[in-house]
Structure 1
Amino acid sequence: MLNKLEQYYYEAKGNKWYGYFAVFCRLSLAIAWVISGLIKIKGERFAAGLSHNHPLGQYFDALLNTGYYYTFIGVSQVIVAILLLIPRTALLGALSSFPIILNICVLTYALRFEGTRAATFMLLANSFLLCWDYNRLKSILPFKQVKITANPTVEKQLDNKFPFLFFGGVVATLATVVFFNNVIYDIRPGNEPAECWNGCPGNSNPKACEAFCDCIHNQGKPLSKCLADYEKAKASGKTANMRTTPNK
């Protein structure tokens, strides 16, 4: 199994389209880190349009008030971006970037942020870059090394065949992430108060949804508290409906 994966890996390394995709991932991540880092270096609040009472908005407000630590984060992100842009240091950039984006991804899911899709896309791109440099990382991986009969380092002309199956899988993966993010949560705070309230008419319990939005955006209570109250309101609403529904 591992031998087949390595064979596929070296075939991919010899295909120019995989190389183009690796460059695209590097550039995309670098641009994202530069934008995020410069905002912090300038001392501005990240995601300025996010409600201050939003759970993640409260986090960003607190982070903004950490002084030079906030600047340090921004400088670190810009350095990671520079490492990603330079081919010789791209692997170091991917290694440095991975724990950062993993932390951000977990944070956005935990707080039900609308930007979970973008964070997930970045995490997937970073993971691909680490896989792309597997030949440089495999010596530290905790499994038996497979002996390659052919020398993968021998330079040869790159294959021009377009990998339809791979890029089809990329599109399918992105579509799955979008779909998953649309159904994973029964309710989200929304980036702005209006966004939260606008989702209530389509909720199974509009009144419980409105109370949740008020709890988050007007009262500024913790997400866990508002979610607990929301679930209680939903449960009491179902109980009330069962009592008022006549027996047939």
Structure 2
Amino acid sequence: MKHSRFIRVLKQSVPTTFRLFLGIVFLIYGLVKLYPGQFGVPGPDAVTTNGEGFVMAWTFFGYSRIYEIMIGLGEIISALLIMIPRTATLGAICYFPIVINVTMVNYVFEIGVQDLSTVMTIMCMILLWLDRDRLLLLLEKREKEETSL
């Protein structure tokens, strides 16, 4: 009896912990992009860095303030959706491509937080996997609607 209770609590607490962690991290990163700005304005010598990945990536992202704001809004919206239980699945769907992009940028440009972004990607994948039945039902429903037209 106690074993099944432990499993039930574990099944509820792990996804909740993942959602809150992912949401808080993206909320922080998103808010920093809005104000004061995470990347800053590139200096005149930024392009002459001989391919240093970090500087090149930051120069690119910092070049357009609007682009930085859009990235920040995407992270904030995904963070809020994933933290609210009713919208958590939609949040994970929105979160996943953003976190994949962040992870790839971190590895390709050697940003230095590859571990964090990898863990975040895996956590989001686990949340999507746990919601796979609901997601498959949506796909099946959509498929039936398309075939009935």
TM range (shorter): 0.7 to 0.9
Give 1:61 deviation, angstroms.
2.4
Equivalence for 1:24: 17
Shift of 1:40: 0.8
Mapping 1:73-84, distance limit 5 Å: 73-84=71-82
Maintained 8 Å contact 1:36/1:46:
no
Give the Å deviation of 1:134.
1.4
2:26 maps to 1:63: no
Change (3 A) 1:46 1:15: farther
What SS does structure 2 have at the residue aligned with 1:15?
helix
TM-score normalized by the length of structure 1: 0.47
1:40 to 25, 33, 43: 33
Q: Render the CA deviation track for 1:3-58: whole Å, top value 9, x for unaligned.
A: xxxxxxxx9xx7220210100110111011111101110142349xxxx7541232
* Residues 74 and 94 of structure 1: CA distance in aligned 2, closer, same or farther (over 3 Å): same
Change in 2 beyond 3 A, CA 1:24/1:46: farther
Conserved 8 A contact 1:109-1:116: yes
Give the Cα–Cα distance (whole angstroms) in 2 for the partners of residues 93 and 55 of structure 1.
30
RMSD after superposition: 2.1
Query: Which amino acid is 1:72 matched to?
Result: M
User: What letter corresponds to residue 110 of structure 1 in structure 2?
Assistant: V
| 2:28 partner amino acid | I
Q: Secondary structure of the equivalent of 2:111?
A: coil
Q: Name structure 2 gaps, 5 residues minimum.
A: 41-45, 141-149
TM-score (norm 2): 0.75
- Tell me the residue number matched to 1:147: none
Question: In 2, Cα distance between the equivalents of 1:112 and 1:67?
Answer: 22
The residue type equivalent to 1:25 in the other structure is: F
1:129 is matched with which residue?
A: 127
Equivalent residue pairs, number: 125
Could you tell me how far apart the structure 2 residues matched to 1:90 and 1:37 are?
A: 18
Amino acid at match of 2:55: G
Distance 1:29 1:121, change over 3 A: same
CA distance in 2, matches of 1:72, 1:110: 21
Q: Which moved more, 1:85-94 or 1:55-64?
A: 55-64
CA–CA separation in structure 2 for the residues paired with 1:61 and 1:109: 17
User: Highest CA radius of gyration, 1 or 2?
Assistant: 1
Q: For structure 1, which runs of at least 5 residues remain unmatched after alignment?
A: 1-10, 142-248
8 A contact 1:43–1:71 mirrored in 2: no
Distance (Å, rounded) in 2 between the aligned partners of 1:26 and 1:46: 26
Q: Contact 2:96–2:125 (CA<8 Å) still a contact in 1? A: yes
**Identity percentage of aligned residues:** 28
- Contact kept? 1:40, 1:46, Cα under 8 Å: yes
Question: Stretches of 4+ moved more than 6 A in 1?
Answer: none
